[in-house]
Amino acid sequence: MPPSSAFSVPGNSRPSLKSLRHSFAVSTLIGWYRDGGDVNARLPLLSTWLGHVAPSSTYWYLQATPELLGLAAARLSSAAQAVSGKESRP
């Protein structure tokens, strides 16, 4: 998804700095979900890259894109299956 078309300011053909930061944050999370890493453990790193003191400041830059939600849902489903599989064993 090109930033110039997806995150441009209405009436302006160029993306804003804020929209590029949003795009960077979401793209980074998608990459972390794809590589199977611990996303929660890596959030402080993303915060640092964006110049924030804490992840709580970074959450404002995260947008719920279909791809990100799909990856997060798959991760949650996998974790739930792993837990329920462990609980059902004698």
Angle between helices 66-87 and 17-34 (to 10 degrees): 30
Residue 78: inside a domain, yes or no?
Answer: yes
User: What is the CA 43 to chain-centroid distance, rounded?
Assistant: 9
In this structure, are residues 14 and 8 in contact, taking their beta carbons and an 8 Å threshold?
yes
Domains of the chain: total = 1
pLDDT at 7 over 60: no
Q: Does residue 24 lie within any of the structural domains? A: yes
DSSP 11: T
Query: Domain range holding 22?
Result: 16-87
Cβ–Cβ < 8 Å for 43, 58 = yes
Q: Which tens digit of pLDDT belongs to each residue from 26-80?
A: 999 999 999 998 999 999 999 999 999 888 888 887 888 899 899 999 999 988 8
Q: Would residue 80 count as lying in a domain? A: yes
Domain annotation covers residue 2 = no
The pTM of this model reads: 0.70
Distance CA(7)–CA(20), nearest Å, equals 7
